[in-house]
Structure 1
């Protein structure tokens, strides 16, 4: 059963129960108003008549029959038949003129003898008519000498009550019809976005990552549809990045392998006595091998990060010495672009961290600054000891990063420029290393104004392992 039908059935069930309860209460009130009201009026007349007869009629067992006509004329009413019964329940007189022979053994007569009054709704056995009968005792000297009984037809009340029930039922059905139309409309409003989200989800599950929710919804459904569409965009972007990553890795691996293979064949077929050519070939093979090793290390770190086995092993070391070693290690690359690296240091600084991992971060940040800065430019490396943290920054004079790329540059596989070397893992891995040290990696950049990349680390950090 679909959610729309289930919601409609739930609404209709609730409203139907409410309408039935309301109609039941109204019908019960009308019933008591008509029937109990009529019975109360007749009963009051009967009691008043009996009281009057007792007080002023001077009735007794011996003169009851003599006073039947006076009782009929004094106490009869147009809306009811008036009967006067003997002390044994035999009808002595009736305003209708019909006097049955048998004893009147009805519930109201019995109650009048035993309880002092009786009321009975039932069917007249002679006519099959629905009647209301009220009986009260006629007393003399606190002794019951007869029964004063009033009988009225309730057929008219039944017809009126039936018309009222039909009217109430029609009103209830009308309300239910309106509720059905309104519930159908609102259930459609509620379920349409759910149905569309389900259909779009199925399309995305089948591989259509460009599927989007197109409906213009309001309230929480608007937020949900926007979030869903954003999720789709992120999945599409991730899928694109994955494909680009595979393509980039293939390209990056093929380039050095092609170079190594080419120079290996050259050295095999070339002149062994040509020392210069041999040195050049071996130098290129060594360089391309180092490049392959770096890429493999990045891929291994990425694999560890994905598998949850990325670990750090903190130990105390001097951070200032490590910075100088990394700058010296990259000095040859700096000289090739005729750049200048300025170190602004804050004196000796001892740090508890994984030295090899921090070296990896420093190498990546400073090497990126060299790579993306032009010739004859200046790169500023600075670190300072603050109250509780170490703050390290690398500032370059490169082209900078556009704002749309800035928030993604530390994401796995992301490359702002597809023509650059690498597979888009360097900064992402650096971010993981810093965060595993309970620190934070930050990037500030403006197009054509250079980039500042750095991190902050707690000075008393022992890592998370």
Structure 2
């Protein structure tokens, strides 16, 4: 669970924090834009109205005419008196007339009035009314008689409705931002959970595998990288289970293979040593069995040593020019008499085409050929015939060894070269001979193919590049 919390925490710190910052910036920018938009439009409208009013008063030549017409304008001609306060102020900044309320002698003393009295074309100010503390916007414009500022016209409006509208718009924007953030959070939480839960499952499964529960499988829920990980773990679990099974079978098989010849050697050795066999022929027969079983033990130990060298990376080749046809003929000649004693005929088909000397390890190649011939007799000897042949196909030397036995079950063919695999065969052996053979052939940049021949029996094909 610590890992799950860790991933969620990192996601919260990275994704959600970044999203929250973006939403806040967006809402803030939108709010500022809305405030600027509403205030700017309102300011432009007020400036337009006060410009029109200022133009109306600009034609008066005396201060008396100005005040007389200003009073009439404020009381009757100003059209927006219900929502705008039109004021007339003297040169001291004191209100003389007001369209909204009957007020005089009031001195607002705001920055827009100071700007107008100082001769600036127009003053604009937004803030709290000094008298009512209401949020207002005011625009003031000077009126001049004979070049001197004799009065100021001022339009004042309340910002309560505008502020409320801005508050509503900003509130809606903030609500939308929070909804987007909530949607991102829950969708991200679902996504994180879809990753965390399989990872937790993988962790638990790996712990079970480490504890010895080989072959345990996980359910794949998503066809993505996590699904690929689960497939890999499931495949690993099955392969470990298979390897464990083969290892146990190998130990059992090797134990049996070692026990059988040791029993024969020990039995005959004790019999001869105790003098229970007096006939010379029987003694010779017993010694022959001892030699034969000792040789079989030696071969088995050699296979195990070869396999150990392959696993440890200590497997090397001693390359030298070799006549491959002669090597195959020597192997056939060596086994022909052995097979004849067991009632098996060994037929060899030579190739008329001459082969150039090939750079191979002659001892390793002989080991491959002998192992394959021994397997052919061991597993297909019931057919009483084994055929060998060599031919050239383009730049490859192709050696085939075929027996006429029962062949290999189709479902076992993909696994016959797997270390320790023996399948349904009851023949004696460690189950690593073919794995060693393939390693040797591959080290020579060749291929070892095993399949069933047409008409029955097993066909083994060794391909070696002539240019090696």
TM-score between the two structures when normalised by the length of structure 1: 0.89
Measure, in 1, the Cα distance between the counterparts of 2:212 and 2:382. Answer: 46
Measure, in 1, the Cα distance between the counterparts of 2:61 and 2:300. Answer: 127
Deviates more, 1:77-86 or 1:169-178: 169-178
Alpha carbons 1:8, 1:183 under 8 Å: kept: no
Pair 1:448–1:83, CA change in 2 (3 A): same
Measure, in 2, the Cα distance between the counterparts of 1:317 and 1:61. Answer: 130
Pick one of 78, 86, 90 that aligns with 1:86: 90
Matched, 1:385 2:392: yes
Matched, 1:399 2:406: yes
The C-alpha deviation readout for 1:106-164, integer Å capped at 9, x for no partner, is: 22223434542222110012111111111122245665443211111112222333233
Pick one of 51, 68, 71 that aligns with 1:69: 71
Matches within 5 A, 1:23-422: 23-54=27-58, 57-60=59-62, 63-73=65-75, 74-75=77-78, 77-78=80-81, 79-95=83-99, 96-100=101-105, 102=107, 104-112=108-116, 113=118, 115-140=120-145, 144-271=149-276, 273-347=278-352, 348-349=354-355, 350-375=357-382, 377-417=384-424, 419-422=426-429
Runs (5+) with no aligned partner, structure 1: none
- Give SS of 1:429's match: helix
- Give SS of 1:352's match: strand
Runs (5+) with no aligned partner, structure 2: none
Alpha carbons 1:341, 1:380 under 8 Å: kept: yes
TM-score between the two structures when normalised by the length of structure 2: 0.89
The alignment of Structure 1 onto Structure 2 pairs a total of residues equal to 458
The C-alpha deviation readout for 1:71-121, integer Å capped at 9, x for no partner, is: 42444632122222234434333332223454x542222343454222211
Alpha carbons 1:82, 1:150 under 8 Å: kept: yes
- Give SS of 1:374's match: helix
The C-alpha deviation readout for 1:418-440, integer Å capped at 9, x for no partner, is: 53211111110111101111111
Aligned counterpart, 1:450: 457
Alpha carbons 2:380, 2:458 under 8 Å: kept: no
Flag as ranges the 4+ runs of structure 1 deviating above 6 A.
none
Measure, in 2, the Cα distance between the counterparts of 1:205 and 1:370. Answer: 41
Alpha carbons 2:416, 2:422 under 8 Å: kept: yes
